[in-house]
Amino acid sequence: MTSQVDFNGLDSVVHGPVRLGILTLLHLDGPLDFTALKKRLNVPDGALGSHLQKLEEKSYISVKREFVGKRPRSTYRLLPAGRAAFVGHLRNLKSIIDAVEGPAPETKAQRDSEHIRFAR
């Protein structure tokens, strides 16, 4: 018997590893600047920049650009739409994992309690 799995619930904007990493870090750690994201995700500037731009275009994140001394700093923050998309994506991934793994195996104590209940 196969379970119904909704693959349409997966958000293609969130699903890629770099974008999923960005959203995860912003969800867990709060606002982060470009350099912190680059170091933690270990991706080149250009690749990170294009992924950040895509998330910003979807209003999943916002960016605050400022200068610290003479150096530019871009700080990224997760927006409510991005948080909802991220959490929804994780729920859909969990439903896929649950469908693949099936129900948790019974423990010996659960089997014994069932046996005792029916033996009476």
Distance CA 15, CA 42 (A): 18
What are the residue boundaries of the structural domains of the chain, listed by start? 10-119
pLDDT tens, position by position, 87-116:
999 998 998 888 888 776 666 666 666 655
The pair of three-digit structure tokens given for residue 42, joined into one six-digit string: 């270990």
Looking at the DSSP assignment, which residues form a beta bridge with residue 68? 71
The pair of three-digit structure tokens given for residue 115, joined into one six-digit string: 């046996």
Distance CA 6, CA 102 (A): 16
Q: Average pLDDT in the 3-19 region?
A: 80
For domain 10-119, the CATH class is mainly alpha
State pTM to two decimals. 0.78
pLDDT at 101: 85
